[in-house]
Structures are given as C-alpha cells and as structure tokens.
C-alpha cells in the first residue's frame, strides 16, 4: 500500500466465488471496496459478512452497462475484473449471453480503467490453453483449440480476446495491467450449479447421492485453493514487473477425477457410490473434455514468491466445513 492513501478497488463479479473472497481479502488489507455484480451466478449471501462494513459497498448491475461501469470505475484506483459467464454448464446452455458478457463486458471495464488511470487485473483461465496437455503449461504454451463453433471453445476464444484487449491497452495506453490465468480454483462458496466438479462431488457425497464421474474419470486436474490465489492477485498488481503479462495461478497436486471422487467420499465418510456418466449425457453432443491440465507457476513464483501450500485434502475439508477463514487461519495458530 502506498503511504497513507486509502486505495479504492472495484471488484466486478464481486458476489461470485473468487470475487467475494477477494472482497474479504482487500478489506483485511485496508482497501475500500465496491463490488459490482448482476447476481446472475453470484449471490448476495457470499457478501453478507461485509454488509455492515463502512468500507464496503455492493452495487447490483452489469458490466454490460457502460455508463454504470464508467461511473463506478472513475472513483477507483484499482480494478479487478472477474465478472464473466463461468462454468461449463452456463457456457453450453447460454452461449450468446456468455459471449456478450465475456467480450463486451471486458471491453467496457478495461476502457474505463484506462480512461481513469486505474490499475487493472483481468481474470482469465487455463481454458485458453485448450487441449494442450503438456506436463506443466507455461504462459507461452501454444493454444490447441477445437472449432469456435463448439461452445466450449467459444469460451476459450472469448477469454483469449479478453486477454488481448487488456494487453493492447497496456501496450498502447500504458494501462498497468495484469492477466491471471486460473487453473481449477476451488474453495468454500463455489457452487456446483454451473458444473464445477469439486462442489458437485461434495454436495453429492454429503447427501449420499451417487458421485457423477464424467467419462471414465481418468482425466486429470490440478486444483488450486482460492486462499492461495486471492492474495497473489493483489500482490501481482503491486508488482510492476508483472504488468502486461499473463500469469498462471493454480495448485500443485494433480489428481484424476475418479481419484477426486474417492477422496471426497473418504473425507465426508459418505455412503455414495460412483456413477459414470457419458460426456454426451452430461453436456450434450460433440463435447470435448481436456484429458489433463497442469499449471507451471514458476513465473508467479519469480514475480511474487507464489508458493501454493495447501494440500488437496485440506482444500476439500474446508469446502466440506464451509470454512471461510482461510486468509486468517495461519495467523490464528498459536505456537
Ligand atoms: N466432471 C465430472 N463430474 C461432474 C462435473 C465435472 O466428472 O459432475 C469433470 C469434468 O468433465 C472435467 C473435470 O471434472 O473433466 C473438471 O470439471 P470442471 O467443470 O470443474 O472444470 P474444467 O476443468 O472442465 O474447466
């Protein structure tokens, strides 16, 4: 933080899963925070702990509302742009609306940030790497995408353009800008309603429903904790060497989806069995999944010392318990 000046941040998508944790964290860091959210997939309940905080405000509105975006951003010096259509189910079911939000929404926000001289971070995704299943994807890895006419790839295409728009503003107008690429970030408050696998499995396990493993469950992912990535986002914006770069943020422990199901069953003590569901049944015709997606986070380590420490079992346990104290828990340990 610079001197005595209080920084004011806007978090678009602030009522969402990562956005609400970011609002919590920024408040602990002394920021004033405005969350802008249309509550399409986010929820006010994610922010109820901040209701009475004088440094926090929730504005219900869309990033597609250009005037509103401009009005809010003009009073802020820091912009975290997280508002997006997220979740594979959302993208497949509402392709046009998703595309609009992800393209025009980003354009509106980045334009306002540049016009008012605010620092800007845009949340991107490991989806941009597509089917590249290299062991440890670095930021300059090639993108291997299927047809843009398949909804899964339209999302990757839109996010790629979001990155490009931000990057060009950075190059041409000197916008201090960071692009973060999230790799399967999970934690409490994430909902399974839009497809995300960990909250779906946890809910299924806690209600003793069958765990729905898509395909054969051999596909692999590396889940990262929201409590590791949120502080990293703030630090990256404080690090000029990170400007105009894309930075991977994720976890370290790779697991197959069948392996994940087994761990969730064990950690919840559930009586659920596993039900294998074909991709066709899960997502409709022509869906392509990624066999593997594993981040290389060396760049984040070099820039800000990023070292995601949380183990998958602990991450799953915090989700089972809805434990949202992740930012403060380490200091609470008495030695
Ligand atoms: N998945 C699954 N069962 C579910 C939801 C998802 O087996 O109920 C699989 C999905 O097909 C993918 C992985 O879990 O292989 C991760 O899915 P998610 O949507 O969380 O993230 P993605 O990596 O696909 O963006």
Task: Please state which of the ranges 53-62, 119-128, 164-173, 285-294 shows the lowest mean pLDDT.
Answer: 285-294
Question: Best of 196, 210, 221 to mutate for ligand 1, by most ligand atoms within 8 A of CB?
Answer: 221
φ, ψ of residue 119 to 5 degrees: the values are: -75, 150
For the chain, give the mean pLDDT.
93
- 328 in a structural domain: no
pLDDT of res. 262: 98
Q: How far is the CA of 324 from the centre of ligand 1 (A)?
A: 23
- 213 in a structural domain: no
- 202 in a structural domain: no
- 265 in a structural domain: no
pLDDT of res. 329: 52
Q: How far is the CA of 212 from the centre of ligand 1 (A)?
A: 10
d(CA 127, CA 144): 10
Residue 27 domain boundaries: 8-185+225-250
Find the mean pLDDT for residues 195-220.
96
Confidence of residue 155 (pLDDT cuts 50, 70, 90): confident
Residues that are catalytic: 155
CB within 8 Å of 114: residues ≥ 6 apart: 120, 169, 173, 175
The 10s digit of each residue's pLDDT in 8-25 is: 999 999 999 999 999 999
How many domains, in total, are found in the chain? Answer: 1
Identify the residues whose C-beta falls under 6 Å from ligand 1.
88, 184, 195-197, 200, 212-214, 219, 221, 257, 289
Find the mean pLDDT for residues 173-198.
95
Q: Residue of the nearest CA to atom 10 in ligand 1?
A: 214
The 10s digit of each residue's pLDDT in 303-328 is: 999 999 899 999 999 999 999 988 86
Q: How far is the CA of 240 from the centre of ligand 1 (A)?
A: 35
- 324 in a structural domain: no
Confidence of residue 92 (pLDDT cuts 50, 70, 90): confident
Read off the pTM. 0.95
Tell which atom from ligand 1 comes closest to the C-alpha of 201.
Answer: 8
Of the candidates 246, 223, 225, 227, the one whose C-alpha atom is nearest the C-alpha of residue 236 is 246
Q: Residue of the nearest CA to atom 16 in ligand 1?
A: 197
Question: Best of 197, 250, 251, 291 to mutate for ligand 1, by most ligand atoms within 8 A of CB?
Answer: 197
For the cut 60, the answer to whether the pLDDT of residue 333 exceeds it is: no
Q: How far is the CA of 233 from the centre of ligand 1 (A)?
A: 24
Tell which atom from ligand 1 comes closest to the C-alpha of 217.
Answer: 7
Helix (H) or strand (E) holding 289: none
pLDDT of res. 288: 85
Confidence of residue 195 (pLDDT cuts 50, 70, 90): confident
The 10s digit of each residue's pLDDT in 48-71 is: 999 999 999 999 999 999 999 999
d(CA 88, CA 185): 14
- 307 in a structural domain: no
Tell which atom from ligand 1 comes closest to the C-alpha of 88.
Answer: 19
Strands (DSSP E) found in the chain: 8-12, 32-37, 56-60, 78-81, 119-125, 177-182, 185-186, 211-214, 220-222, 224-225, 245-249, 254-256, 274-277, 292-293
Q: How far is the CA of 83 from the centre of ligand 1 (A)?
A: 21
Q: Residue of the nearest CA to atom 5 in ligand 1?
A: 197
Question: At how many degrees (to 10) do helices 257-268 and 312-320 cross?
Answer: 50
Find the mean pLDDT for residues 120-136.
95
pLDDT of res. 122: 98
- 160 in a structural domain: yes
Find the mean pLDDT for residues 22-48.
97
| 284-297 b/e (C-beta count within 10 Å ≥ 16 → b) | eeebeebebbbbbb
Tell which atom from ligand 1 comes closest to the C-alpha of 279.
Answer: 11
Q: Residue of the nearest CA to atom 20 in ligand 1?
A: 196
Neighbours of 123 (CB within 10 A): 28
Q: Residue of the nearest CA to atom 11 in ligand 1?
A: 214
Q: How far is the CA of 214 from the centre of ligand 1 (A)?
A: 7
Q: How far is the CA of 104 from the centre of ligand 1 (A)?
A: 27
pLDDT of res. 313: 96
Q: Residue of the nearest CA to atom 23 in ligand 1?
A: 184
- 1 in a structural domain: no
Q: Residue of the nearest CA to atom 3 in ligand 1?
A: 213
Question: Best of 41, 84, 88 to mutate for ligand 1, by most ligand atoms within 8 A of CB?
Answer: 88
d(CA 299, CA 282): 35
CATH number, domain of 37, equals 3.40.50.720
Confidence of residue 91 (pLDDT cuts 50, 70, 90): confident
């Amino acid at each position: 933080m610079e001197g005595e000046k209080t920084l004011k941040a806007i978090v678009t998508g602030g009522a969402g899963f990562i956005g609400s944790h970011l609002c919590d964290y920024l408040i602990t860091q002394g920021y004033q925070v405005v969350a802008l959210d249309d509550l399409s997939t986010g929820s006010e309940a994610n922010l109820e702990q901040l209701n009475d905080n004088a440094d926090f405000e929730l504005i219900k509105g869309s990033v597609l509302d250009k005037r509103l975006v401009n009005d809010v951003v003009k009073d802020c010096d820091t912009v975290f742009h997280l508002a997006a259509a997220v979740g594979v189910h959302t993208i497949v079911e509402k392709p046009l609306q998703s595309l609009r939000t992800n393209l025009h929404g980003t354009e509106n926000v980045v334009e306002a940030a540049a016009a008012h001289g605010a620092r800007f971070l845009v949340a991107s995704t490991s989806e941009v790497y597509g089917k590249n299943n290299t062991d440890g994807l670095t930021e300059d890895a090639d993108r291997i995408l299927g047809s843009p006419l398949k909804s899964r790839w339209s999302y990757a295409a839109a996010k790629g353009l979001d990155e490009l728009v931000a990057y060009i503003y950075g190059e041409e107008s000197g916008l201090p800008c960071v692009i973060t690429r999230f790799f399967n970030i999970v934690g409490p408050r994430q909902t399974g309603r839009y497809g995300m696998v960990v909250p779906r499995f946890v809910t299924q396990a806690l209600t003793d429903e069958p765990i729905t493993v898509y395909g054969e469950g051999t596909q692999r992912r590396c889940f990262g904790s929201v409590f590791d990535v949120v502080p990293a986002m703030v630090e990256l914006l404080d690090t000029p060497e990170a400007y105009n770069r894309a930075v991977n943020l994720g976890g370290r422990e790779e697991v197959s989806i069948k392996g994940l199901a087994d761990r969730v069953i064990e950690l919840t003590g559930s009586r659920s069995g596993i039900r294998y569901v074909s991709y066709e049944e899960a997502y409709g015709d022509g869906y392509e999944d990624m066999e593997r997606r594993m981040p290389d986070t060396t760049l984040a380590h070099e820039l800000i010392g990023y070292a995601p420490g949380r183990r998958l079992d602990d991450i799953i346990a915090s989700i089972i318990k809805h434990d949202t104290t992740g930012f403060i828990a380490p200091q609470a340990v008495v030695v």
